Amino acid sequence: MTDEIVRQTQKLEPLLQQLSSALWQAAEPAGAEDASVRVLTEALRSEGFQIEQGLGCQPTAFRAQYGEGTPRIGFMAEYDALPGLWQERVPHPSGDKARAGHGCGHNLLGAGSTAAAIALARALRAGGRPGTVVLYGTPAEETMLGKNRLLKDGYLKDVDVMLAWHPYTQMRCGGVSHNAMNSILFSFHGRTAHAAADPENGRSALDAAEMMNVGCNYLREHIPEGARLHYSYVHAGEKPNIVPEYAQVWYFVRARTKSVLDDITQRVVRVARGAALMTDTGMEYRFLVKGTIRC
């Protein structure tokens, strides 16, 4: 069986390259992977896979199934790109920074998993063996939303084993454990005013966001080894002469265990409250993803 799978995989090399190039060119960000899904599902359909597209609330999630009986072998394919990372296929930085790009090789990831599922289906067929191959197309990996939503909607549990991979600098099996993660949006509400003519009447939401980040950067020293905090500004005001009445920062908090993650998250929330107190602004926060597992 192993020889047959290897043989089928080698025969799929041209398809692998074709799928990988198509996904690279499409380079669609999380949740907008329409062309990428079309490319992958067409390849799977032409190999006899039954496709169910649009799973739960995600139009670019899909499930492709081939064969029947057990074992039920699952694969996961990712295909979303990161905003602002478009890169020409040259060995130096060059590209349109307004476009999304496959920063960590999700074009290879989607193509590789799809080709693996096809190779296994062909090997089962050639050997006349029972077994079901299930490939999940899991969108929005870069925002950590896709698989969580699929799990919530009851998917991903219908297989005996799920195989996944990620491009890396070495060819190896991963025996590592990944961090639990919270994705949280912090919003600050202040009061606008003219920053030169009337600053005393302004309460800057951007000041609050900045103070929160300063606080978290001090907090960073006192969290356990392996834990991570990182953030980006989502809203940071309009013009320098307008005191920003609204600001938003997006945080990822990561830690080895859920209990450590929850503890750090509560401390981050307290820092945000402190920043609001210091700046006389209001603060609210919302979890986008809670307790997910991700590299």
Which residues contact Zn ion (rule: CB under 5 A)? 104
Nearer residue to Zn ion within complex by CB, 104 or 163? 104
Nearer residue to Zn ion within complex by CB, 32 or 104? 104
- H or E element at residue 20: helix 13-26
Nearer residue to Zn ion within complex by CB, 19 or 275? 19
Q: Which residues contact 122 (CB under 8 A, 6 or more apart)?
A: 8, 47
Nearer residue to Zn ion within complex by CB, 148 or 279? 148
Cβ 232 to Zn ion shortest distance, Å: 17
Residue 221, Cβ density class (10 Å: 0-12 exposed, 13-18 middle, ≥19 buried): exposed
Cβ 172 to Zn ion shortest distance, Å: 16
Cβ 122 to Zn ion shortest distance, Å: 27
3-state SS class at 166 = coil
The residue count for the chain: 295
Structural contact between residues 159 and 263, judged by C-beta atoms closer than 8 angstroms = no
Cβ 227 to Zn ion shortest distance, Å: 20
The residue with tokens 């969580």 is: 148
3-state SS class at 159 = coil
Nearer residue to Zn ion within complex by CB, 76 or 135? 76
Cβ 112 to Zn ion shortest distance, Å: 12
Q: Which residues contact 148 (CB under 8 A, 6 or more apart)?
A: 289, 292
State the residue number with the nearest CB to Zn ion. Answer: 104
